[in-house]
Structure 1
Amino acid sequence: MQDVSRGPAPTEHDASPFSRHPAQRLRFAELAVPRPPVSGINVQCQLKHFAIITYAIDPARLTGMIPPRFRLDTILIGGREQALVSAVPFLNVNFRLAAHSSPRLEMAQVDYRAYIIDQHTGERAVWFFGTTLDSWTLPVPRYVWQQPWHAARTRFDCQLDGSGQRYQRYHMHTASAWGHAQLQLRQHTGHTEAYPGFADEETALFYLTHPLVGFYHRLRDRQLGAYRVWHDRLRVQPAQLINARFAVFDRLGLVSQAEQQQPYSVLVQPINDFTVYLPPTRLE
C-alpha cells in the first residue's frame, strides 16, 4: 500500500503550491488532486450534518502542542498573526470498505484540530488534538491504531428547509469524559461570510476545507501518526452560531467558553462524500 502520510514534495526550483501563504490566491482547479486508488481497508463514507466551526487565536496559545516537524499555518488579521483551530462535528453514514458495498455503519464524530504545514513536504495539513467517537468500533482506532479517539455519546437534532440545503435547526450534543460539546446553529437566506486574512473567498475555503492529511500523537508511544483522506470540493455554506461549548478547547487553554461564542467562521453542508485511507501510518 502507498505511504499515505506524505504529500507532494517541493522541488529544488519550485516549492510545493501547498506552501503558498494564504494571503495569495489558492484555486481548487490548480491545487485539488485526483482521488488516489483505493485498496485493502480504505473506507468510503458520507458525512452528514457536516460543520466546521473555526476560531482565530494567538499562536502563542499553541506553544508546545505542535511538534517541530510542523509550523502553524497562520494568517494576518488586522496586522496580527493568528492561528486557526476548528471543531468538526458530523454523522458518519454509509461507512463501508471502499471496495465493497456492505456492511454499512453509522457513527457520530467530532474532530478537534489546528491548521498546520508539514515542513517535510510543504503540504497544508491539520493537527488533531483528539476526536470523540460514538461507536462500538472505537477500540480499533483507539487501541489497534493508537489514534487519540475517545468514547462519547453524540446526538444530532437537525431540520432542513424544503430545499434540503439549508438548516432551519442544527443542534448537536456530545457527552464525553474527554470532550463534552454542545452546538446550536442556524442559517438565514442571503447570509454571507467574511474571511479576513485571505485574498478571497475561494482561498479561504480551500484553506479551511481542503487539508487532506491529518497528524497526531499516538496514544501509547507518542510517536507521530498520520492518515489521509480524499474528497471533492466541498459545497459548504455559511451558518450563524447560536451557542457553542467545546470543553476540549477550553481545557487546553485555546478558546475560552466566552470566546467560543465569537467564531472566525461557521460552515455547514448537509452531506458529502469522503474516502479515508486506512490503516493510519506511524512515522519514523
Structure 2
Amino acid sequence: MTFPELKFKDFLHPRPQPKGLDVQCKLQHFALVTYALDPERFTHIIPERFKLDTIHYQGREQALMSVVPFIDVDFTSAVYPFPKFRMGQTNYRVYVIDQETQERCVWFIGTTLDSWTLIVPRYVWQLPWHAAEFTFDCHQDALGFYSQYEMQTRSAWAAAELSLSQSANDPWNFEGFPGLESYQVFLTHPLAGFYHRRDGKLGTYRVWHDRLQPKPAKLLHARFELLARLNLVSFEEQLKPYSVLIEPVNEFTIYLPPALISK
C-alpha cells in the first residue's frame, strides 16, 4: 500500500467569513504527540461511516492518533466584541476518512478543558468534553525551541502527564509517507472533526487555520490515563511515539454551533 502524495496547495483556502457563534483563538504551546497503532484497536471506537487513514509503518499497516495539548489564549467571538478567555485543553483524535465525502478528517475520542465555559459544549451541544485542571510549565530558548515543556492534567476522565524537550537538531520522522509535506498535511491540516455526542448521536464541527509550522521535539515522559484505560496505547507504548511536534502559537477559527448528523 502506497500512501498518496499530499500538497498544501490542495488543502489551503481562504478563511470562510465568520458569523453568529463562530469563535477565534490562539493555541499556545501546541503539541502533537502521535502514536502508530494496530487498526484493530479502534474496532469499537470508529463508526462505519469512517475508515482509518492508515500508513505502512515498520512493515505493518498502522493507524495514527494524536494527543494534542495546548492553551487557548484570546478565545473570543470572531464576530462581536466579547471578553477573552484563557484555558488549557487537550484533544484525543484519530485520523480517518469520511467515506461519504472522502475528506480526510479526525475522529475525536474526547477533549479535556480547564474552564467553567465547559458547560456550553458539554451540556448544550453534548460534545464529549470533560472537566480538567491543567498546569503548563514551558520555557523556550533564544531561538524559540523548547528547553522545557511540562504539562500535567488532573481529570477524572483523562489525567495526563507530558514532558518534552526540543532543539534545532531534533529529526523529522515521516516514515510511511512519500515525503515531509504529505506528513505535515496529514497531521496538521484536517479541518473537520467528528465525534459521538454524549447522547450517542453523531456530531461534527469545522475549523479553519492557515498552514501550521510545528517542528520536531523529543518525548521525555508521557502518561495518558485515557489511552491505557481504553486499551489503545499502554503506558509502556506511550513512551515510544511515532512523532512529536510543537508549535509555540498558532491561530484557529472555529465554526459553531456543532452540527448534529441524523445518521
Q: TM-score band (shorter)?
A: over 0.9
Structure 1 counterpart of 2:119:
139
Structure 1 counterpart of 2:133:
153
Question: Following the alignment from structure 1 to structure 2, what is the Cα–Cα distance between the partners of residues 24 and 79?
Answer: 17
Structure 2 counterpart of 1:231:
209
Query: How many residues are matched?
Result: 262
* Distance of aligned partners of 1:22 and 1:168 in 2 relative to their CA distance in 1, 3 Å threshold: farther
TM-score normalised over the length of structure 2: 0.97
SS in structure 1 of the partner of residue 116 of structure 2:
coil
Structure 1 counterpart of 2:163:
184
Deviates more, 1:165-174 or 1:73-82: 73-82
Q: How does 1:1-284 map to 2 (within 5 A)?
A: 23-163=3-143, 165-220=144-199, 222-284=200-262
Q: Any stretches of 5+ residues in structure 2 without a counterpart?
A: none
Question: Following the alignment from structure 1 to structure 2, what is the Cα–Cα distance between the partners of residues 238 and 33?
Answer: 25
Structure 1 residues 88-129: Cα deviation after superposition (integer angstroms, max 9, x where no partner): 000000000001343110111000111000001000111111
Deviates more, 1:21-30 or 1:248-257: 21-30
CA RMSD in angstroms comes to 1.1
Measured after TM superposition, the shift of residue 22 of structure 1 is: 7.2
Question: Following the alignment from structure 2 to structure 1, what is the Cα–Cα distance between the partners of residues 228 and 213?
Answer: 29
Deviates more, 1:223-232 or 1:96-105: 96-105
Alpha-carbon contact 1:226-1:282 (below 8 Å) kept: yes
Identity %: 54
Question: Following the alignment from structure 1 to structure 2, what is the Cα–Cα distance between the partners of residues 267 and 205?
Answer: 10
Question: Following the alignment from structure 1 to structure 2, what is the Cα–Cα distance between the partners of residues 109 and 87?
Answer: 11
Deviates more, 1:99-108 or 1:255-264: 99-108
Alpha-carbon contact 2:29-2:246 (below 8 Å) kept: yes
Question: Following the alignment from structure 1 to structure 2, what is the Cα–Cα distance between the partners of residues 96 and 31?
Answer: 26
Q: Any stretches of 5+ residues in structure 1 without a counterpart?
A: 1-20
Alpha-carbon contact 2:216-2:243 (below 8 Å) kept: yes
Deviates more, 1:25-34 or 1:123-132: 25-34
Structure 1 residues 155-207: Cα deviation after superposition (integer angstroms, max 9, x where no partner): 100011123x2111100000000000000000122222121110000100100
Question: Following the alignment from structure 2 to structure 1, what is the Cα–Cα distance between the partners of residues 181 and 126?
Answer: 35
Corresponding letter in the other structure for 1:90: F
Question: Following the alignment from structure 1 to structure 2, what is the Cα–Cα distance between the partners of residues 54 and 190?
Answer: 19
SS in structure 2 of the partner of residue 250 of structure 1:
helix
Question: Following the alignment from structure 2 to structure 1, what is the Cα–Cα distance between the partners of residues 168 and 105?
Answer: 32
SS in structure 2 of the partner of residue 137 of structure 1:
helix
Structure 2 counterpart of 1:3:
none
Question: Following the alignment from structure 1 to structure 2, what is the Cα–Cα distance between the partners of residues 253 and 235?
Answer: 31
Corresponding letter in the other structure for 1:271: V
